[in-house]
Amino acid sequence: MKERCTKYEALFTFADETTLQEHLKVCEDCRKEQEEMDKVSELIGEVKPFLKKKKTSYHHLKVACILFALVIGGASVGVVGTNQDVMDYIKYGETLSAEDLGFPVDSYGFLLVE
């Protein structure tokens, strides 16, 4: 019984191309492994465009999410910035009244006009 050659992996990884090709000419076991590697390379070549498209789609999704967050965040800042009650609540923890601001007010909390 003939022993299998185990040099293919070492030659494929560490040797130069000419050394590998010379060994493939004389070794049937390594030639079979090279044919299997060629099949795997062909399969990877077939799948590569799909993976690139998937990666591109993922990047487009990330950009869309960032833009959405910026638009919503910008709109929120605009609403909060124009609504004084919300700004008071954020800054001071409560809504400030005219009396808190130092204006003269009557018993109902309306500005007192003399």
Is there a domain that residue 76 lies in?
no
Is there a domain that residue 53 lies in?
yes
**Same-domain check for residues 19 and 59:** yes
Give the phi and the psi of residue 65 in degrees, each rounded to 5: -65, -40
Partners of residue 111 on adjacent β-strands: 105
Would you write out the chain's pLDDT as a tens digit for each of its 114 residues?
A: 478 888 888 888 898 899 989 999 999 989 999 999 999 999 999 988 888 888 889 999 999 999 999 998 888 777 666 777 777 676 777 777 777 778 888 877 777 777
Residue 62, domain extent? 8-70
**Same-domain check for residues 20 and 65:** yes
Give the phi and the psi of residue 105 in degrees, each rounded to 5: -130, 155
For the chain, the domain total comes to 2
CA separation, residue 43 to residues 13, 32, 65 (Å): 20, 17, 33
